[in-house]
Structure 1
Amino acid sequence: MPTPRSNLFVISLLGALSVVSPFAIDMYLPAYQELATEFGVPSTTISLTISAYFIGLALGQVVYGPLLDRFGRKPPLVVGLSVFVLSSFGCAAAPDINVLIALRFLQALGGCVAQVASVAMVRDFFPADQAARVLSRLFLFIAVSPLLAPSVGGLIIAAFGWRIAFVALAGVVAAILALVYFLLPEGHTPDPDISLRPGPILVEYLAIIRHPRFATYALAGAFSFAGLFTYVAGSPVLFMDGFGVTGREYSLIFALLAVGFIGGSQLNVVLLRRTSSETLFLRSLSAQVAAGAVFLAGSLAGGYGLEATLVLLFVFLGCIGITNPNASGLAIGPFSKNAGSASALLGFCQLGIGAVISTGITTASPHDSRPIVVILALTAAAGLVILLLGRKRAHASAVTEHPTQSAQPTAETDSGALDEQPSDACCTAGHSDATRRE
């Protein structure tokens, strides 16, 4: 456990680790048009570099948990961050779009370890009664990253070009890697009893996803959350191609809309004091569907101006800021012994479904961004349909498991507790506690 004098260093380093992937996703978004021009492809094709990163993150959720427990925290961190640094230099030298897409996938597989390990090490270095407070501080790092990354990336791209943005990213992560290797103590003793065999892990995952409560809230929440992925991948096309804004103006727009998502997650804390997590999830998802429907109707009728588009996206993303923590808490609420595996599978569902759906924006074009709006509206609607169809079975399973109390307060307690954590943290923490085999 770190001393009080070293707490700031440990929290700062864990915070730096937690924003490796957010910066890798957001930092080069202002370069969409420059990339499209250099590689001779539509800007919608450039969005595949984002989708490839999301897919790598999704796969990493179910891989790094047992590795971090089996071998300790530092060896997987060193290997993963090294892969990230090398693939970032590769991205900077990519000769064509196909190579860049492949390297972005590899970059995500390496960078994912930083996010997973940062949450695990909170448990290593701080007592349980301080964990929520430390995770809340990590969330501040994560919350600020979408505000800063496009702006910092835009300045670098404007001055030196998009390739230097990847070089700068590699340099920063290389510095973090050096701090981890030389200054961060090992917080977890390697445990050879942790099973790395795919068979037992897959059996456990299948048992979790068959649980009515997990299936309903994880899948409904994942389709709701897919709207965020589609927005991130499609916003450069929507704003820079559709409305003709500059890279610097786009960075400001991205930061503004990020406030909507962050604000929704903070409003959720207040709303949970007045209503249950289940009710709040249903109402916020219904509001997200309504915002998507209005957005779609206007787009099909001729389109909205920039101001109306910003308002609708602000509301849409704000709803996701509320649905995401509630869906996460409700999905893993029934699990205790295997909560780690449930968390990892939840993260895989959220990231995997979002990554696959976000590839659909390649059907859009610089002169027709309606496919992006269609995806936003349909994914939210799909989430609501899944919730309405599975809600009764999910509630019945909760009553069966807790016959002496209603399911609703249980879910509210779970979601309220998780709401103190970063939304990504609840998807990645502690996976391998459940992979230990007696």
Structure 2
Amino acid sequence: MTLPKKPSLLTLVLLTGISVLTLNLFLPSLSRIADEFEADYALVSLSIGGYLAVSAVLQIVMGPLSDLYGRRPVLLAGLAIFILASIGCYFAQDIWVFLGFRLLQSAVVGAMVISRAVVNDIAPRAEAARLLGQIGAVMALAPMLAPVLGGVLDELFGWRANFAAFILIGVAMFALVWVDLPETNTHLGKGGFGAHFRSYPELLGVPLFWAHCSCLVFSIGGFFAFLGGAPQVAETQFGLTPGWVGVGMGSVPAGFMLGNYLTGRLSGRVPLSRIVLAGRWLAVIGPGIGVVLFALGVDDPLLMFGCVVFIGLGNGLTSPGVNASVMMVAPHLAGSASGLSGALTLAGGAALTAIAGVVVAGTGGALALLSLLVAVSVLSLLSAQYAYRIEARIA
């Protein structure tokens, strides 16, 4: 069978990056947004937790839609909604109007879902893992640099400048997709959306799908828990300014970039299972060291941010292989698998973001946050081990 025409690697990188950029570019501005709208910080934080929850629901829908109608039209529609929602956030004069448009911005999550499905369309499993690793290595610059850029934009022009940036980025991505991304789905669905949506039970009934999904939920969940707890810990326990908070928030993405780079280099030479399990062990060991040292009385922000680099490194070694494996459980439902696994991951992330905010609210926030990261990393490690036991039995 002839593979479909391939979009450029840069396009796939940017599509994945914009989804992450939208999540954390404006994180350093949360307090200022709360002040301008005279709203509680907890309410303003719904711009993260609520965004993740809506994104989870949209991923469930966008996967089957891209299987049925094609990757290209669904992606373009999502980007168009994102542009309009960004305009609404920029001009909002009320916290509820702002939150409403912020939730609409979650339509951009289709960029991540569909870019993964496109990789599955154009490459076999081993090659797909390698491509996902390369994409992730470059894409990791987005969450690493975004908080820093967002903090600078806020200090120079105010928090609304972040949403002006979203508008420009959305327009640029719409134009790039229009020019460079052809339709790659050669298995367009039949029988209508309802029939495709009912394909989910086929995935849900496969234990291997659940094992890989659990690995993703808890590994990426560690990153979301960090996003939910680290800003508060950095400000209240260590007294860091928004600019330094933004720098510290780049620690996990920096590790993620390195992990994805290593995955791209090792894929095809080292079994994916070994790469994934190595990543899971690193994600346990790194914050585990931090727990021990903070419990012994060490109190330093560099220690906290240094330990969580291993969360990013472990996720970089894990995500490409597990994402490729999830979509290969049922290749004819790659878009649905990508959407459903992504939805479960974001739902777990939304829950862990909220949990992290509660956990770090008291004294000893850094110790509590690192303990939470160890717990979710252990769960991800156990899920990965279970997945590869299933694969060994099938083989």
TM-score norm. by structure 2 comes to 0.81
1:122-271 superposed matches below 5 A: 138-139=135-136, 141-178=138-175, 180=177, 183=179, 187=183, 193-198=189-194, 201-202=197-198, 204-269=199-264
Structure 1 segment 9-28 matched on structure 2, within 5 A: 12-28=10-26
Q: Which residue of 1 aligns with 2:391?
A: 398
Are residue 76 (structure 1) and residue 71 (structure 2) matched? no
User: Which residue identity is paired with 1:278?
Assistant: S
Distance 2:278 2:134 in 1: 28
Greater shift after overlay, 77-86 or 287-296? Answer: 287-296
Task: Provide, for residues 407-430 of structure 1, a one-character-per-residue CA deviation record: whole Å limited to 9, x for no partner.
Answer: xxxxxxxxxxxxxxxxxxxxxxxx
1:378 and 2:371 aligned: no
Query: 1:311 deviation in Å?
Result: 2.0
Using the alignment, how far apart are the partners of 2:305 and 2:182 within structure 1?
46
- Retained in 1: the 8 A contact 2:67–2:336? no
How far off is 1:306 after superposition? 1.5
Query: How far has the Cα of 1:234 moved from its partner?
Result: 2.8
Q: Unaligned regions of 5+ residues in structure 2, if any?
A: none
Q: Compared with structure 1, are the counterparts of its residues 218 and 245 closer, same or farther at alpha carbon in structure 2 (3 Å cutoff)?
A: same
> Could you say if the C-alpha distance between residues 223 and 191 of structure 1 is closer, same or farther in structure 2, counting changes exceeding 3 Å?
closer
Cα distance in 2 between the residues matched to 1:148 and 1:82: 25
Offset of residue 111 of structure 1: 0.8
Which residues of 2 match residues 252-331 of structure 1 at below 5 A? Answer: 252-269=247-264, 276-299=271-294, 302=297, 304-331=299-326
Q: CA deviation at 1:185?
A: 7.2
1:29-178 equivalent positions in 2, closer than 5 A: 29-40=27-38, 43=41, 46-108=44-106, 110-119=107-116, 138-139=135-136, 141-178=138-175
Mapped contact 1:69–1:188 kept (Cα < 8 A): no
Cα distance in 2, alignment partners of residues 299 and 326 from structure 1: 33
Query: How big is the shift at 1:158?
Result: 0.8
Q: 2:63, 2:340 within 8 Å by CA — same for their partners in 1?
A: no
Given that 1:52 and 1:102 are in contact with CA atoms closer than 8 Å, whether structure 2 keeps it comes out as no
Counterpart AA for 1:35: I
CA distance in 2, matches of 1:297, 1:7: 48
2:109 alignment partner AA: C
356-365 or 293-302: bigger deviation = 293-302
Shift of 1:76: 2.9
Q: What amino acid maps onto 2:86 in structure 1?
A: S
Q: CA RMSD in A?
A: 3.7
CA gap of 1:194–1:270, structure 2 versus 1, over 3 A, is same
Q: Does the Cα contact within 8 Å between 2:252 and 2:310 map onto a contact in 1?
A: no
Work out the number of aligned pairs and report it. 388
Instruction: State the SS of the aligned residue for 1:295.
Output: helix
Partner amino acid, structure 2, of 1:206: P
**What's the counterpart of residue 407 of structure 1?**
none
Matched, 1:354 2:346: no
Percent of paired sites with the same residue:
26
Structure 1: which amino acid aligns with 2:83? V
CA 189–283 in structure 1, closer or farther in 2 if over 3 Å, else same? closer
Contact kept? 2:120, 2:324, Cα under 8 Å:
no
Q: Compute the displacement of 1:60 (Å).
A: 2.6
User: Contact 1:91/1:100 (CA < 8 Å) preserved in 2?
Assistant: yes
The equivalent residue for 2:365 is: 369
Structure with max Cα Rg: 1
Report SS of the residue matched to 1:19. Answer: helix
Deviates more, 1:27-36 or 1:278-287: 278-287
What TM-score does the superposition give when structure 1 sets the normalisation length?
Answer: 0.74
**Residue 260 of structure 2 contacts residue 317 of structure 2 at CA under 8 Å; is this kept in 1?**
yes
How many Å separate the matches in 2 of 1:71 and 1:336?
17
Look up the equivalent residue of 2:230 and give its one-letter code.
Answer: S
Equivalent-residue separation in structure 1 for 2:356 and 2:37 (angstroms)? 18
Letter in 2 for 1:111: V
CA contact (8 A) 2:216 2:319 kept: yes
**Inter-partner Cα distance in structure 1 for 2:46 and 2:375:** 20
Given the superposition, is the C-alpha separation of residues 240 and 340 from structure 1 closer, same or farther in structure 2, using an over 3 Å criterion?
same
Rounded Cα–Cα distance in structure 2 between residues aligned with 1:76 and 1:330? 23
Deviation at 1:307, TM superposition (A): 2.0
- In structure 1, C-alpha distance between the alignment counterparts of 2:263 and 2:184, rounded to whole Å: 34
Task: Describe the shift of the 1:271–1:186 C-alpha distance in structure 2 as closer, same or farther (beyond 3 A).
Answer: closer
Deviation per CA, 1:51-70: give whole Å up to 9, x if none. 22222332232222333354
What SS does the corresponding residue of 1:245 show, helix, strand or coil? coil
Distance 1:46-1:382 versus aligned 2 partners, 3 A rule: farther
* Letter matched to residue 33 of structure 2: L
